[in-house]
Every structure is written in C-alpha cells, then in structure tokens.
A and B are shown apart, each in its own frame.
Chain A
Amino acid sequence: MMAEKKNKAVIWGILLYFLGFSLWAWTGRAKEESVTERRKLQQLPEWSIETVVSGEFMQDFEAYALDQFPARDRLRQIKGYVSHYLYGQKDDHGIYIADGYAVKMEYPLNQEGVIRATERFQYVYDTYMAETDVKLYFCLIPDKNYFLAEQTGHLSMDYPALFTLLEEKISKMKHIDIADLLEIEDYYRTDIHWKQERLLDVAEKITTAMGRFKQADYEIKMLSQPFYGVYTGQTSLPLEADELKYVTSSTLEQSTVYDFENQRSMAIYDKEKAKGRDPYEMFLSGSLSLIQIKNPLASAKGELVIFRDSFGSSLAPLLVEGYSMVTLVDLRYIHPDLLGRYLTFDKQDVLFLYSTSVLNQGETIK
C-alpha cells in the first residue's frame, strides 16, 4: 500500500515536472538575446529538405532548445550553486569568486603568446619609429588573478617569469610600474576591467614619468543603471552588480574624438553604450582600431600615441590633460602596415599599455 502511494507520487512528480517544463518550453516566447551572457540567442530554425538531410536543422534546433529553455538564467545559477557548494569546485568555467570579485584564472603563462606580442611591438618600432625621436614607454596592467590567486589557492600564470620575459624583449621601452598602485578594489567585481574613477594615481604616475603631468579638476559621475560585467554570464554563480562611474573635467568635455575606422566624430563617453550589451564600451566606444582625441585646451603642443587593449579606453581620458592630441591604436583590430596611412611618428610619446590577459594571448595581436 505504502509502495503504491510512493509509486503514484513518483509518477505524478515526474509527469508534472516534465509536462510543465515541456509545455513552458514549447509555448514560451523566444528571446532575442541573453543579457547576462551578452550574446544573441538561437532562434527556431526553419527547416528544409536540405537542412534536414545535412543535419543542420537538427544541430540548430538543439542549440535553440538549449538557448531558449525556460528559466535558463535561474537554472544556470542552480548549476553554479551545486558546483560551488555541493561539489566544492574551486572554479566555474575557469572563473572563481573571491571577496565578491569574479576572477578569471589567467593560467598558464603562454610564453609563445607573449613573445609573439613583443615581436609585433618590435615590428611597429622597426617600421615607424627606429629613426625618430619618439620616447617609448611600457605599462603592464595586472589582471585580477594577480591580486587574489595566491591567497585563495587558485592557479595563476608565472608573473615573475612574465615580467622577466618582457624586460628582456622590450628593453628599448621605459617600464612604468603601476602594479604597486593597484589593488583588487580598483577593478569591477563582475568585469575584467579596472574602474576609471580609481585610476587617477595611475594616470598621475604615468604622465609624471613621461614628463607631462598636469593637475586637473576632475569630477566623478555615476550612471544610474547597474553594471553587470562580462563575468556575469561566464560564471553561473550570482554576482552583485557594479556601479559604473566615469571621470570628467572641462578639458574632457571640450575634447573631440575621431574614429578613423568608422570615419565619424564621437564623444569620450557614450552613455547610450552604457545601456547596451557591454556597458564598459561607454569609454571611448569600446573596441575600435584607431581613434584620436584632440584637446583644444592644451597649453602646449604634445602628442601621445597609445598602443593599447580595452583597458586603455578608460585610462586614456585621464592622460589627455597634458597633451594636445592622444591617439589610440588597438593592434588586435588594425594591421601595423596600415598605420603609416594615418600616423607619422617623429617625436611623440609612445606608450604601450597592455594587460597581462591580452599579452598572454599575444596571438591576437596583428
């Protein structure tokens, strides 16, 4: 009798579960994109004899069923909880959470990638700067794992080996060490990047080292919407949103920015982008190959060229004060051979500003 009751409970429990979720999945409205994962979601594929015979329809349908499954974000969180709290796994898709910060385990040191990056820097130097009076500087931005891995027992790249390798390979550049000014609180909890409003001391150190420091009257402003960074979607554990702040001044408000890639003028801070898929793109409109900031209030002529990754987008505005022109080049999106069409190197300050994450994947640099 008791067994019969149990069987009934099992049958009804499982039936209701399956039918409930199935009906929800079948009748639910398909979403266009996932905010947390920052990507477009697969839509119901259209079938044809060709796509069915080739199996393409089935593959797309499998992707659709996964992407559009009801309560997908909640379920991913459940997975995160089980993985973290029940299994005690130390990371989730290579990301761990420590002190509320989502951190990617940058590991191991990819020596070939770093060497490749330095070879490309050397190529840029040999092609455009060898016979000029440019002054070369280099700044390395540590990733979040640099600050937390040791104390939390996570894997991290061999940072001393990375620093030694860089010193060996780019000895022509003056190294401005900013690592000692940074701490984990200078980075977003949910994103890979650093917080612009906490970089004033970093900017001061860099501009001082380049002999271009100028006091500015900065004002910090905050956007009203919460900022969910790139790691929110990459880890299934829930994360508390960050605040998105930016630093402005009368100089920055009057500066103009030109985007060579799209041949358009734009603002230093694009507040519309802050509402988009990647709010960090509000700083100089995100991933652009070549942009130029002109500072009409500059007291003296001076030009700075920054070879950079996305970290540079938030730091560059803080370097504008001492220069009449700041050019940002992202070698991941523009081949060095094309630079000669837009830039002439003579006596500029040239800063190579790269994060350890990008250097470690130096294959991405053209």
Chain B
Amino acid sequence: MLFSSITFLYYFLPVVMVVYFIIPSRFLAVRNGWLLVASLFFYAWGEPVYVLLMAVLVVTGYFSGRAMEKVRSLNINEYSGKQKSWDKVFFFVAVLVQLGFLLYFKYTDFLGKSFSAIIGVSFSLSVPALPIGISFYTFQMLSYLTDVYRKAVPAQRSFLRLALYISMFPQLIAGPIVRYTGVVKQLENRTHNGENWALGARRFVLGLSKKVLLANVLGELCATFKDSGDKSVLFIWIYAVALSLQIYFDFSGYSDMAIGLGRIFGFHFEENFLYPYTSRSITEFWRRWHRTLGFWFRDYVYIPLGGSRVPKIRWFFNLFVVWVLTGLWHGAAWNFVLWGLFFGLLLMVEKHCFLKYLEKSRILAHGYVLVAVLVSFVIFDASRLAETAGYLAGMWGGGDWPLLSGEAVYYLKSYGIVLVIGMVGATPLCSRLVRRAESTITGKKIIHLLEPIILVLLLLITTAYLVDGSFNPFLYFRF
C-alpha cells in the first residue's frame, strides 16, 4: 500500500488511528499489538505471500538474538573448554539467512545475467518478484543482530516488540532505516501527546505534498523526456534537473511521511535528509542524503573493515567495497554499481585533492556538487547503459543532439514554475522565512493562523491530484 493512495489515506489510516488512540495509553503492549497487526495488513495489502517471508526473517532474528545471549549467559565457551564461540555461530547463521533471502530475491537475476554475459552462454534464472521493502527490513534486522552480537544492546525478549520494530508500517517499505538502538526504548515506553500529534501530522502532510505535488509532476516530465523523439542538449539538462528533484522529493517526501507517522504514534525516527542539494562537497552531500543508509554502511561495513585508519591502499579498498555495496543496495543492475562507484571515486579524489579548493569558493563548491549529482542521477535512472552514455555525452555537447528542440522549449515553459518551486523547495529558504516571520509576535500569529489552513488545503490538493492522476510511482519502493 502506498502512503500516497486513497486506500491508505482514507481507509487504512483512519481505522488504525482511531483504534490505536481508543486503546488506553497504559496498555502500551495492546497498542503495540494493534500496530503490528496493522503493519502486517499494510504489508500484505501489496504482497500477501511475502508476509510469511518477513515472519521467517523476524523469527530467525528473534531466536538468534536470544540464543546469542543465552550462550553467553551459560558461558559455554568456558564450560566446553573449546575456543569455539557459539554466539558467533548463531550470529553468522542468522546473518546468512537474512542476506540469503536478500541475495536470492534481489540479486539472483542480476548475477545470473552477468555470469551468462561473462561465459557467453545465454540462460535465465526464474526468480519470484522482489518483496517490497526487503532491503530496508533486512538491513534493520542486520543492525539488530550486529548490535546484539557486539553487546551494544541486550537481545529483545518480547517477540512482539522485535516484530513491531521490523514491520512497523510507517518505515517498513521505504525507510528511513531505523536502528534498533534508536527505538528500543520507545517500543517499551513512549509519549503520546498533542504536540507530537500535531508535529507528526504536519510532517506527514508536507511529505505527502512533496511526493504528490512535486515528485509525481516532475516524474511526468522525466517520462515525457524518455518518450520524446525530439531530444536536445537543453532537454537532457531539463531531464537531469527534473530527475534529481523528483528523486529527492520522492524519497525525502516518503521519509517525511514516515517520520511524521512515527511521531503521531510516539516514535522519533532519525532524520534522513537535510537539504542535500545545499552541500558544498560530495562528502557533505552524503551526510545529508539518505543519512540512515550512509550511517548503516559506515557502522556495519566501513568501520569494521578498518575505516580510514589503515594504509592508503586498504582505505581505497574499503571505500570501493562500501560504494559498490551502496550502489547494489539501490538496485541489482550495473548502472547502480556505476552510480555507487562514481560517488566512491569522487569522494576519494575530493578528500585527496580538491576539498581544500572547494572550501575557498562557495559558488564553485555548490556548482561542483550540483553537476556531480545531476550526472549521478542520469546514471542512476539508466535503463540501458549505452543510452545513458549518450545522455551524459549530450549534456556536454557530445553526440548528435541539437542544442534546442521544440519539445525542450515547450516543456521548459510548461514545467518552468514546478522546476523553480522544486529548486527553492530543495533549500531551507522556506523554513528560514517561516522562522524569521515567527520571530515577531505578529508574524507568529499569522503563521499560527495560516498553518492549519495551509495543511488542510495541501491535503485537499494532494487528494485532488491522486483522484485525477494515475502517475504515482515510488522510486525507492523496491529497494
């Protein structure tokens, strides 16, 4: 079920909320139970059979975590006198199960096709459809298992709480990747109050608007570009800008909705996006873009590999591994590997050579980041590498593209305002203006008066767009 669907907004969500808040707050376990039931229903709505897969992963994770703790408490190592560490065995078995399913569902086809291309023999492997959100909930479970294995947190004794941590519908299918350490206390005890509710609702409505009123509209422009038989250099640039904004508003909109819904139910999820397009280096960009994924790779891959406190060659290798994995996490295709490597390479060069120059000129730094990001998303969106190479060359005047075309000019005029709104919306300008207005009593009064009206209006307009249109994909849905 999509957040940006009539079914979710007007059928599912009201029922979940009403029942949740009817249950007295002292019965938190019952509220958690209701949220779990609702989350399973939410997941089953899109892919009924895969609820079983999620159940297998949760059961494996739960019992592995408990087993790790149990063997430690029994101190089997000392009793047996052997060096074998049984908690390590349970940890690796559980990790293998989690990764095994992810590999099977997400990467079998890609690996098969790549192997087939290498050996020059054509064959295909039949794999069922990719379970929605598998990358997100697998990573959440891996973080839990690793944290328990590292003794950073005790294993969860309540199956219900662990199942809820993995399956909670606000963040189930498109993140943010919630770390167990970040929500474990909230699973046991959390505050529900009007302020949380209002802030959560505001965040949800703004996220929904970003998704429906910006990302979807810009997505139409990108689709038009791809279907066009009248491409030009200008049109490729328009596409690159629209695509970068679409991906940003799509994913950050979803994160906003997830964070907002979480807040309504008393959870505080980590921020996933902090105006990444205002960054002055790619290093900064990745501290602002999909932060929960970046932190996950940092804590569970990069640092265990040795991070940067290793010889230079090893450091390059560590970066290479992290960025290939980051690329592959986004999709099982070579363009995603390239996309990851592109960023890995930029980070290496940036840290080694020109970070100090970027610090000297803001304009240069912003320009460099924006161009790099535009190029990266053209790679990201590739359906065929050759076609993408053509677009990338075309951006810089290569290939046979004319400078202008009738379609490019028409669509620039038609989507110009949306593009400008998108560009401004991707910066903190609006929130700064609101904060500045709120610094005076009159401004504060006006803002406070307008906010509820604007939120309801936004809801009405997003609903109007949903009712009218069928173009409503979620780009990060299948990761």
Which A residues have a C-beta under 8 Å from some C-beta of B? 2-14, 17-19, 21-22, 25-26, 52-53, 55, 58, 61-62, 65-66, 69, 72, 75-80, 82, 86-91, 108, 153-155, 236
Given contacts A11-B194, A79-B469, A87-B417, contact A155 B407 (CB under 8 A): yes
How far is the CB of B133 from the nearest CB of chain A, in Å? 16
Which residues of A have CB within 8 Å of B468?
75-76, 79-80, 236
Which residues of A have CB within 8 Å of B11?
22, 25-26, 65
Q: How far is the CA of A154 from the CA of B45 in the complex (A)?
A: 42
Asked if B464 and A76 make an inter-chain contact with CB atoms under 8 angstroms apart, the answer reads: yes
How many chain B residues have a CB neighbour from A under 8 Å? Answer: 53
Asked if B410 and A10 make an inter-chain contact with CB atoms under 8 angstroms apart, the answer reads: no
Which residues of A have CB within 8 Å of B7?
61-62, 65
Asked if B414 and A89 make an inter-chain contact with CB atoms under 8 angstroms apart, the answer reads: yes
Asked if A22 and B14 make an inter-chain contact with CB atoms under 8 angstroms apart, the answer reads: yes
Asked if A18 and B10 make an inter-chain contact with CB atoms under 8 angstroms apart, the answer reads: yes
Known pairs A53-B48, A108-B230. 9 more at Cβ < 8 A?
Answer: A8-B194, A11-B197, A11-B201, A62-B7, A79-B464, A82-B464, A82-B465, A89-B415, A90-B414
Asked if A7 and B456 make an inter-chain contact with CB atoms under 8 angstroms apart, the answer reads: no
Which residues of A have CB within 8 Å of B45?
58
Given contacts A6-B451, A82-B464, contact A14 B10 (CB under 8 A): no
B6 is an interface residue with CB less than 8 A from chain A: yes
Q: How far is the CA of A22 from the CA of B469 in the complex (A)?
A: 20
Which residues of B have CB within 8 Å of A77?
464
Question: Can you report 7 A-B residue pairs in the complex whose CB atoms are below 8 A from each other?
Answer: A11-B197, A14-B452, A25-B11, A26-B11, A75-B460, A79-B461, A82-B465
Which residues of B have CB within 8 Å of A82?
213, 461, 464-465
Which B residues have a C-beta under 8 Å from some C-beta of A? 5-7, 9-11, 13-14, 45-49, 194-195, 197-199, 201-202, 205, 213, 217, 229-230, 406-407, 410, 413-418, 421, 444-445, 448, 451-453, 455-456, 459-461, 463-469
Closest 10 CB pairs of A and B: A7-B198, A6-B448, A13-B452, A79-B464, A78-B464, A9-B452, A90-B414, A75-B464, A79-B468, A65-B6
Q: How far is the CA of A72 from the CA of B455 in the complex (A)?
A: 20
Asked if A18 and B198 make an inter-chain contact with CB atoms under 8 angstroms apart, the answer reads: no
How far is the CB of A237 from the nearest CB of chain B, in Å? 11
> Among A2, A22, A72, A89, which residue has its beta carbon within 8 angstroms of that of B448?
A2
Which residues of A have CB within 8 Å of B195?
3-4, 7
How far is the CB of A207 from the nearest CB of chain B, in Å? 39
Which residues of A have CB within 8 Å of B453?
13
Asked if B410 and A4 make an inter-chain contact with CB atoms under 8 angstroms apart, the answer reads: no
Which residues of A have CB within 8 Å of B229?
108
Q: How far is the CA of A155 from the CA of B444 in the complex (A)?
A: 46
> Among B407, B414, B452, B467, which residue has its beta carbon within 8 angstroms of that of A10?
B452
How far is the CB of A150 from the nearest CB of chain B, in Å? 11
How far is the CB of A240 from the nearest CB of chain B, in Å? 20
Given contacts A10-B201, A55-B47, A87-B217, contact A153 B410 (CB under 8 A): yes
Q: How far is the CA of A87 from the CA of B419 in the complex (A)?
A: 9
Q: Which residue of B lies closest to A82 (CB)?
A: B461
Which residues of B have CB within 8 Å of A155?
406-407, 410
